[in-house]
Amino acid sequence: MEQFSMLIGGRSVDAISGKTFESQNPYTGENWATIPDGGPEDVDAAVAAARSAFEGEWGAMTGFARAACLRRLGDLIGQDAERLAKLEVNDSGKLYREMLGQLNGLGGWYHYFAGLADKIEGAQIPSPNPNYLVYTRREPIGVVAAITPWNSPLLLMTFKLAPLLAAGCTVVIKPSEHAPASTLGFAELIEKAGFPAGTVNVVTGLSRETGAHLAGHPGVDKVAFTGSTATGKHVGQAAMENLNPVTLELGGKSPQVVFADADLQAAANGLVAGVFAATGQTCMAGSRLIVHADVHDELVRLVAERAASIKLGNPMDAETEMGPVANQPQYEKVLGYLDKAREEGATIAYGGVAEESLGSYFVQPTVLSVKPTDTVYREEVFGPVLSAVTFTDEDEAIKLANDTPYGLAGAVWTKDIHRGHRIAGKIRAGTVWINAYRAIAPSVPFGGFKQSGLGRENGLNGIDAYLETKAVWVELTGGTRDPFTLG
Ligand code: NAD
């Protein structure tokens, strides 16, 4: 068993209660790591440490000095990518080859936001009254609560951590109880990168109460959350109790719209990337295939053929293409959706069941043809399940694409350049790919329309979520004025 500690105030600590819990490797089914079971009292200590760093050494550092820390952290992640990728695989069953690629690229987020840390500028504002010089300052919002889910914990944490550090904030991070180890392993790099004690704190806990206590903590100034829409609503309400701003990155049920003129081989490949990569456990999973009736059979056949050849197995093996579902509750949830799909009359082109020969939590990649009213087509499965419906004209395709409470992502597949851009403009989602799927970058805004979230992460404006604007008025004449008038 590997032992992990929390990071609070620059020290590696156990939970105050001394309690621990164990993290299970979903591939082997064995518990592999001992994790501190932090509770509200640990959250209180972490928030106090973050406040003290904000009011102390970190808060006094210039953007140039913060940028240097961020650059060092980015470099350290690159050097430690293998160790961190293995932690992610052990925790969540994701493919080593995907996680290694993700970790090798992760430093890029810190380098990108390091480039912004020393460019946070206010403006000189024209005043209608010549007696005043007015300017704005962009100041860090303060102590941030960052709460993350179990799929890609380090990537989704980084969407918050890199910009908030660039802005000059401090943070308490609470990773998911289902995949806590990689964030604790990552925390070991914080001191090496030169961040003052208390700038970054990590608290883990088995109970969801730990996250709830953090989200509603009166000592934090901003809440940044990635997770399910249902939890996101609770988090938003808790933040609002303190009138704290909140960034929410939530669930999705993203459409992939395929026109009859599309390159069907490329579309099939994009569908596989969209819904079977990461065993379908991504917020941006392209889980609804909306395909022109003329090419439905051909495309479903192509995707089903590729699904049949997907190599399931040990996520550490280089040839494996799909690992297990990340944990037992999620495994049961996915199988429940497959039962429901059968009950509601879905046609199964491939899969539809657990892959019991491999033990633990394997589910076959599944390709279904369904009705737009079917549960599996409407709700977020968060597993390797593609549900196809057909359309006959462009208006119907757009209507189907937008007929969802979610709006995280989507794609359009067509060779018609006019139509590609036209449809991209009409899909109500935060990201639309044309003839592509599942590409992201630190420089590109990411986030959801509708119930997929609130606010944007990444990109030049990603840092705004962690800054307050202050207006400063300077009286220029030195004279006295009528105190009973405004301005
Ligand atoms: P979840 O909502 O169950 O948990 C997310 C985090 O919130 C965990 O750390 C959990 O401990 C914590 N939490 C639970 N209850 C809480 C509460 N009341 N207050 C504060 N924190 C609380 O989500 P999950 O199952 O870990 O992750 C899967 C979900 O995340 C999916 O819906 C997926 O679409 C979504 N997701 C979204 C994005 C995105 O960027 N939009 C990315 C990845 C995952």
| Mean of the per-residue pLDDT values of the chain | 97
Does the C-beta of 150 come closer than 6 Å to ligand 1? yes
Distance 129 CA to ligand 1 centre (A): 50
Q: Does the pLDDT at position 471 exceed 80?
A: yes
The size of the chain, in residues, is: 487
Count of alpha carbons within 13 Å of 258, Cβ hemisphere only? 32
Edge to edge, the sheet with strand 200-202 lists 11-13, 6-8, 200-202, 170-174, 143-147, 222-226, 246-249, 453-454
Contact between 252 and 452 under an 8 Å Cβ cutoff? The reply is yes
Distance 421 CA to ligand 1 centre (A): 32
How is residue 207 written in tokens? 């109970």
- Report the run of H or E that residue 396 belongs to, with start and end: helix 394-402
The residues that are catalytic are 249
- Write down the pLDDT at residue 303: 98
Specify which residues 347 forms β-bridges with: 369
- Write down the pLDDT at residue 369: 98
Strands 222-226 and 246-249: parallel
- Write down the pLDDT at residue 376: 98
d(CA 80, CA 107): 10
Nearest to 6 by CA among 206, 264, 304, 266: 206
Q: For the chain, give every residue range classified as CATH 3.40.309.10.
A: 255-434
Counting atoms of ligand 1 from 1, which one is nearest the CA of 232?
2
Distance 460 CA to ligand 1 centre (A): 25
Atom 32, ligand 1: residue with shortest CA distance: 228
2-250+448-471 in CATH: which number?
Answer: 3.40.605.10
The per-residue pLDDT for range 122-143, each reduced to its tens digit, is 999 999 999 999 999 999 999 9
Task: Give the pLDDT band (50/70/90) at residue 215.
Answer: very high
Atom 15, ligand 1: residue with shortest CA distance: 208
Does the C-beta of 174 come closer than 6 Å to ligand 1? yes
The arithmetic mean of pLDDT across residues 367-372, rounded, is 98
Does the C-beta of 203 come closer than 6 Å to ligand 1? no
d(CA 100, CA 130): 58
Phi-psi region of 187 (alpha: psi -120 to 50; beta: other; left: phi over 0): alpha
- Write down the pLDDT at residue 121: 98
The per-residue pLDDT for range 54-87, each reduced to its tens digit, is 999 999 999 999 999 999 999 999 999 999 999 9
Does the C-beta of 36 come closer than 6 Å to ligand 1? no
255-434 in CATH: which number?
Answer: 3.40.309.10
Task: Give the pLDDT band (50/70/90) at residue 26.
Answer: very high
Counting atoms of ligand 1 from 1, which one is nearest the CA of 238?
19
Q: For the chain, give every residue range classified as CATH 3.40.605.10.
A: 2-250+448-471
- Write down the pLDDT at residue 234: 98
Distance 170 CA to ligand 1 centre (A): 21
Cα 103 to chain centroid, rounded = 15
The per-residue pLDDT for range 168-196, each reduced to its tens digit, is 999 999 999 999 999 999 999 999 999 99
Share of the chain above pLDDT 90, in %: 98
Distance 305 CA to ligand 1 centre (A): 33
Does the C-beta of 382 come closer than 6 Å to ligand 1? yes
Strands (E), 447-487: 453-454, 467-475
The arithmetic mean of pLDDT across residues 109-124, rounded, is 98
- Write down the pLDDT at residue 143: 99
- Write down the pLDDT at residue 486: 86
Lowest mean pLDDT among 157-166, 255-264, 443-452, 477-486: 477-486
Cα 285 to chain centroid, rounded = 12
- Write down the pLDDT at residue 359: 78
- Write down the pLDDT at residue 71: 98
Contact between 426 and 418 under an 8 Å Cβ cutoff? The reply is no
Q: At what angle do helices 181-192 and 81-92 cross, to 10 degrees?
A: 160
Distance 149 CA to ligand 1 centre (A): 4
Q: Does the pLDDT at position 487 exceed 80?
A: no
Q: What is the C-alpha R_g of the chain?
A: 24
Does the C-beta of 159 come closer than 6 Å to ligand 1? no
Does the C-beta of 427 come closer than 6 Å to ligand 1? no
- Write down the pLDDT at residue 306: 97
- Helix locations, 56-139, DSSP H: 57-60, 63-79, 81-92, 96-117
Counting atoms of ligand 1 from 1, which one is nearest the CA of 215?
20
The per-residue pLDDT for range 273-318, each reduced to its tens digit, is 999 999 999 999 999 999 999 999 999 999 999 999 999 999 999 9
